[in-house]
Every structure is written in structure tokens, then in C-alpha cells.
A and B are shown apart, each in its own frame.
Chain A
């Protein structure tokens, strides 16, 4: 208790609060702009944190992380372009909600769901850090591979009708991510002997290409085809969700928080995977699954709760084992290190005061993020008043700039444009986007975990079925795919047989 009070004194000092607030603001802005993500924002604030004391420095980094994770939903909902990969699942129902004139409602719900997810994961982190870290440690390469395959199997539920087109999408996604130097063996793949292609396709570049570029092309095509477009989105109300709306989804949010925390705690996974798993879970447990993809509020609540719960989940192995789960936590790790906080078991013994400061900083960060976003909604939605083709110009600039800043490389801008044109073609061929994204996000991890597991087992496949979690996940994945295949085969015959019957009946008459 004394420690908590001491930590409170440090955290509520003006410098720390200003640092957390600045981080949140910067994170929300970077998160909200397609092409700029919180990982970029965090890398930018690291040098600033050098000059600060430990508490404000960590507050600044945590604020940026949390703000960015939450901010990603803004452009996902308003424009249908996820601000960060973690918000890709939010697009599925967030954007349809905007098209139905419920943008502010969706934004407000997303913020509250995010904060809820963040708080639940914080509570889990505070009370069961060792337990969760122990569980996460059981997830070796084989178990993580199982989990990822399970994640990939959710494609079946998300491929909007045609399972074949869903699989085509997933394979395109997997293939794009194999370009570049293979990190495990250093081999070059699909580089055509060039150094430019060695850097591979960055996941953010792929996201810009998939979401932003087709959006922009569509906007221009529509503008030039019809001299006056119908501005169906002009209905801009700043309506916020009521407590009752939110309470209705309480149990869903709680379950998705647990999914997010759990996935976040396993190294090598991350926000996008958690968000898609939560979305699939919400659809599966919903009484009205047919509304998903058409603008179901649960479709926003689930991924937003889960991706923010990942922040707390990822902190568990970071603090207790010193393992960064993703690039963002890796930056957080160097921020901690430079201020003399070496994550690992000793951190909790030697620096318990700082641990409490971190907890309080997370609480403060969520309070700021909710305030910033709820106040910001009325401004964000004004974006919808901008004519689509003018907005598209802005998006082009932002995305071009965003693609460049990732690695200061013109290659990334060109890659975004080329892949984007291809993505537009896929859109026209009605290949769904979601499986492509799942392939992009999960592909590199699936490959890495599989290969590592095979090296560990000296090439024997038994590593995948002798471990209970690995076998369990793989079994469920096969069941999901199998049932879906069975259903679609049956649906195919069910569709064709009445037709045959009716033909027969007409003939007999």
C-alpha cells in the first residue's frame, strides 16, 4: 500500500501526466492516420524519453503504445482503412456502420471497448503475472503454430460466401510475405537477385495497398463516372453510445479481453491475430451472425476489446521474462533498459515501485485516451463531410508519406502502389480482403513456428500431437474447416436438387 501511494505521487506529478498525455495524443494521431502506426510513433519518442526521468519516460512510451492501439480504430471505422494492422478486423463491421450513418456511435463504442479491454488486461497483469507468464511459457513453437493455424482456420467463417475465393486470398497473402531475406536461414526468396526486394514487403505497406489504394481508386472512378455523386455519408451526428448499449455487450467484452490478454502474452503473436480471433468468436456466439459484415456493433466491440487487451497481455512476458512480443514492446523494452529497469524476475523484487508506476501510467493512459477520443469524435466525423474524391487525395498523400517513413525507402511507396493496383483487381474479382490479411499477418509467424518446431523435434512430426495445446488447436482448426466444407458441399447439392425437381415437375405437367 505504501508503495502504491509512493507510486501515485510520482505518477500524478505534472511532468509524468504531461508525458503520458503527450504520448496518448501522439499515439492516437499516428494510430488514426493510415500508414503511420504507433510503432513509428514510439521509435520517434524514444530519443525524447532519454532526457526524462524513468516515470515520465515510460509514461510517454506507454501512452504512445496505448493511444496508437486505440487510435487505429478511427480510420478503420470512418474510412474503411485500418490505421494499424491491429484494427484490420474492426473494418469489417466498423465501416458498414459508418455507411449506415452510425459513425460516431461506432467510434464511441470502440473507444469504450478499447479501454475496457485495456483495464481487464491490466487487472490480469497485476494479479496473475506469474501465472500467465507460466502459461505463456508453455507455448513453444509447436503450440504457437497450433494457435496460428487455428487463427487461419477462422478464414472459413470470414470469407463471405465462397470458400475457394477465401483460400485464394489467404494464399496470396501468404505468398506476398515470403518475399525477401528469410530471417531464419538468410536465404533470399523471390528477390530476383535484387537488393531492393531483399527488404521484403512490410506488413504496413501491404495494409496500405490492400485497404487504402482500392479505396482511393474507387473514389476517383465514382467521381469521374457520375458528375454528381450521392453523398450518402453526409449524415453526421455526434451520437455517443449509452451505458445500456455498452452493458449489453459486457460479457462479450469480458471474453474478448481474455482472448486478447492470452494471445498478447504469447510471444510471436500480437494484436491483429487477437482481433481476428475475437471477431470470429463474436460471430460464432452471436444470435444474429448474419448481421456480421453488414454493420453489427459486436463486430466492432470484439476486435477493439481484444487488440487493446493485447497491450496488457504483451506486458506480461515483457516485464516478467524480458521477452518483447512484438516490435512495439521491443521499443518499450529499450525504453525500460535505458532507465535502468531490466525486465525479468528480478524487476518485481528490485523495482516494485516502478512496477506500480507502470500500472498507474497504464490507468492514466486509458483515461486520457478515452477523453481524447470522446472529445475528438465530433471532429473526426467532420471528415465525412469532405467529398470522397478530395478525401482520396489526402489519403494518397498520407499513405505515400506513411509508406516512406516506415524505413525511409522509396521502394515501400512503389510497392504500396503496385500491390494496391493488384488489390483493386482482386476487389473487382470479388476475392475477399480478410483472408489476404490473415495470410499476411499470420504467414511469417506460421512459417517460423513450424520450422523452429521441426528443428527442435529433429524433423519428427510428433511434436505437434504429443503436446496437448498444439494438438487441441490443430484438431479444432481441422474441425472448423471440415464442417465448413461439409456445409458448403451440402448447400451446393441442396441448391441444385430443388431445381432438378421443379424441372421434373414442369415436364410431368
Chain B
């Protein structure tokens, strides 16, 4: 009897294994739809990623724009789809900001992580003629004079806004700053024109002005220097202690998507990130390719969600 059970068990396990590998090989039998939540750089990276993943899969990955509501529209759409791997989302920390601000009523656990793809590190810049070389200089100067700092970022609750608040808190300027929300891309010009004293945006928006000597990037918010910009210090080096902020982008599917399907997508994503085209695009678009598998990615999302939730609660931006 025990022998028979054992054989049966082995048989069952073997059968499952065969079934699993068969279904993994079958996936995908139709195009996979990748929902893109934001325009601009996020859209371009997403389109490129989809294009490169298609080369490693029997069926294409089709990027589809579902923007609006700060990402909530697209998250809602993918959340409502079947968990079969044919609907995935090109996601980011916006899953946490959307949930905590109350725009969506489900959190990151509504999605199964597939893989982390890239990181982007916000930068803080000032005018070159401001006389501020480091963020420490800026803080010391303003704290001494008592003047207010007009600092621009994207809209309230956006990632650059949260970064701004974290930076201000780190240098003790929280109560001495006026936060000016701009729609995408305007803050650097406002800084150049002198209507702002500082701006927190993505380095790609500052780099040309930084090289031309009109603006100065004070620091990048990651814990370590960004390889593409080795001369620019981290904010911790520049005088804002403990700052370690990165925005990640990755892929996720509705919770409950079978593991073998996730693995197929993860492997296609890994090959795409490793490709020469992706590496080349990362330099021109200003992001860091940073592949992590679904397990590591899941831990990152959970860890970040706690940090973002706390930051938003501190700022009074948390709705749930």
C-alpha cells in the first residue's frame, strides 16, 4: 500500500511537472498586452521593453497606453483582467502613491511581481549663479537668512514631490519652503527664468543645462553615485544625510497569475534588459537598467510601500 501510494505520488508529481512545463511552453499563445500608465519617458521605455521582449517570445508583447488619474486608470484596468498573464502592467512606485492617496482601493498585493526592470534617480538642481555648491550650502544659507526656498516638482503626491519633501526634511528646511507643483517638464525652465530657487526632477531634464553651465545639479538622491554621472555626488554626500530614494519600474500581473507564466515573462524581460539596445537606450533616456527577479522585486515593492506610506502620512497626503 505505501509503495503504491508512493508510486501514485511520484506519478502525480511527474504528471504535474509535465503539465507545468507544457503550459509554460504553450504560454503565450496570443499577444500579451502591456498597459502603460504614463506618457513621456515611461512610455518610451515601456514601448522599447515590449519590443525587445517580443523578440524572445513566440507572440508579441503589445504596449497599450492607459493613462489618466496618476496611473489609477491603468492599474484598475489590469486589476480587473483575468490572471492568465496576457495582461501585464508596466508599473512603478506609483502603485503605492496611488493606493495611499486613495485613488485606487487595492494595494500592491493585488499584483504578482514579474521583474524589476530599471531605476531612475531624482536630482535636485539650482541655478549655477546661486552660489550653492552643495545641498548643505543651500540649507545653511537659507537657515541663516530665514528666506523661503521656492522649490518646484511635479504635482502633489507625485514621486518628485515626495522626494522634495524628504530632502527638505533631511536638511531642516521643511517649514521654510514653498512647494510649487508643475506639470511635467516645466520646472527646469521656471528655475532658469528665476521664478524658482530649486527644482527636483529627473536628471535628464537638467543635464544639458548642467553641462552648459546655466544650472547646477547639486546631488542625486540614491545611496550610491549613478554610474552614468560619476561626477555628481549623492545627496547624502552633499549634506542631506540618510537620503536613499530611487524610483523603480518593473512589470506585474494580476495576483494569482500562475508561477510558470510569470517565469516565462520574467525570462523574456531579463533578456530584454540585457540586450545592447536596452543598455544603449538607458544612457540616452537617463535611467539605470536594474533587473531583479520576481521574488526580489516583490520584497522591494513591499519595503518601498511601507516607506512611501509613512512619508505620505507624515505629509498629510495619506487617505487610507
A residues within 8 Å of B by Cβ? 43, 46-47, 50, 137-138, 140-141, 180-181, 183-186, 188, 195, 198-200, 267-268, 317, 321-324, 327, 330-331, 333-335, 337-347, 349, 407-409, 448, 452, 455-456, 458
Contacts and interface: CB of A to CB of B under 8 A. Distances in A.
A452 B180 contact: yes
Interface string B114-155: 000000000000000000000000000000000010100001
A337 B67 contact: no
A456 to B, nearest CB: 6
A340 B47 CA distance: 17
A408 B179 CA distance: 34
B150 A334 contact: no
B156 A186 contact: yes
B182 A452 contact: yes
Contacts, number: 162
B181 interface: yes
A339 B284 CA distance: 7
B294 interface: no
Contacts of A322: 185, 188, 205, 208-209
Contact of A186 (B70, B77, B277, B283): B70
Contact of B185 (A183, A267, A338): A267
Given A337-B284, A455-B178, A458-B178, A407 B66 contact: yes
A344 B204 CA distance: 10
A195 B67 contact: no
Given A409-B73, A458-B178, A50 B48 contact: yes
B277 A50 contact: yes
23 contacts: A46-B47, A137-B193, A181-B103, A183-B183, A185-B156, A195-B72, A195-B73, A200-B69, A267-B189, A322-B209, A330-B184, A331-B39, A333-B40, A334-B41, A337-B285, A338-B48, A344-B207, A345-B209, A407-B66, A407-B73, A452-B180, A452-B181, A455-B181
Given A181-B72, A183-B70, A183-B183, 12 more contacts: A46-B47, A181-B69, A184-B155, A268-B183, A327-B39, A333-B40, A334-B40, A341-B284, A342-B284, A346-B212, A455-B180, A458-B178
Contacts of B101: 186
Given A183-B155, A330-B39, A342 B70 contact: no
A346 B208 contact: yes
Contacts of B195: 140-141, 456
Contact of A137 (B44, B182, B184, B192): B192
A342 B183 contact: no
Given A137-B193, A186-B156, A344 B212 contact: yes
Nearest to B195: A140
A-B interface, 10 closest residue pairs, ranked by CB to CB distance from nearest: A344-B208, A199-B68, A345-B212, A198-B69, A334-B44, A186-B157, A199-B73, A346-B208, A340-B284, A181-B69
B55 to A, nearest CB: 11
Interface in B1-31: none
B225 interface: no
Given A195-B104, A321-B188, A337-B284, A43 B68 contact: no
Contacts of A335: 44
A323 B103 contact: no
B233 interface: no
A11 to B, nearest CB: 21
Nearest to B182: A452
Contacts of B298: none
